[in-house]
Amino acid sequence: MDFIKVLRGFIDRKMVVLLFAIILLFVVLFKSGMFGGTDERIRITCVGDSITYGSGVLRSREADSYPSQLQRKVGTSYLVSNFGLRNATASQQGDTPYIGSNEYVNSLKSNPDVVILMLGTNDSKVSNWNPNEYRAGLRKLVKAYQDLASKPKIYIMRSPHVYPINGDDAEYTIQIPVIDNQLGIIVDSVAEDFGAEVIDLYAATGDKADFYTDGVHFNKQGYEYLTDVIYNAIKDGI
């Protein structure tokens, strides 16, 4: 008899959980316009390179990249989309220009209410670095998003610290002095010119070497930390 009571209690709890999941799914689908209405979710478009894409947690990036974690933090009233492109540069003269890529085209089509833009780490590579081209590319990107009909609020993120893992050099020929100095100056200047807000991931990662997998990309704990920094920076504006 006691076993039957325990079994019934277990089944009842499972039914409650299942019912809650069904209700939550219905709410998500309703807000997304699946039942004939309009999609009322606030759209957050994340633009960037491999740090946005989720390199460092590739096997679990659908759950652990910062856009995925941000989606969980903001909830079902928002749609957070990841348009990260590995190796991407803001400069159109870089080895993988973001402008013109499929990710760029799709990010423009996403009808964003908020754009979170972070490019610069790959621009700082020895073969890519040209401060004038970086500035020009960043300006072109910001203007393209500002010109969208949805008139999104734009946040430009200063690229985080990179750490050497052998000697004084970072992986992928990324130039640490460029990350430490010139990138931030250009980001601040472009943000001021266009009235965008800056999220300073460089300042936030100054003592966080343990959050990295290779001195450039983040582990799960690192992406959790970035997500918290980003959420706290945008929560009052969304």
pLDDT (tens digit per residue) in 41-98 = 999 999 999 999 999 999 999 999 999 999 999 999 999 999 999 999 999 999 999 9
Q: Are 41 and 78 in contact (CB under 8 A)?
A: yes
Query: Token digits for 60?
Result: 């679990």
pLDDT, averaged across the chain: 90
pLDDT for residue 22 is more than 50:
no
Query: Token digits for 145?
Result: 């998003």
pLDDT for residue 162 is more than 50:
yes
- Which helix (H) or strand (E) element contains residue 73? helix 66-74
pLDDT for residue 37 is more than 70:
no
**What pLDDT sits at residue 28?**
44
Domain ranges of the chain: 1-38, 41-237
**What pLDDT sits at residue 1?**
53
* Class of the CATH domain delimited by 41-237: alpha beta
Q: How far apart are the first and last CA of the chain?
A: 54
Residue 152's nearest CA partner among 188, 119, 114, 198 is 114
Least confident piece of the model among 13-17, 109-113, 131-135, 156-160: 13-17
Helix axes 183-194, 131-146, angle to 10 degrees: 30
Classify the C-alpha dihedral 99-103-105-111 as positive or negative: negative
Look up residue 42 and give its DSSP letter. E
3-state helix, strand, coil in the chain (%, to 5): 50, 15, 35
**What pLDDT sits at residue 69?**
98
Share of the chain above pLDDT 90, in %: 82
pLDDT for residue 36 is more than 80:
no
Write down the pTM of the prediction: 0.85
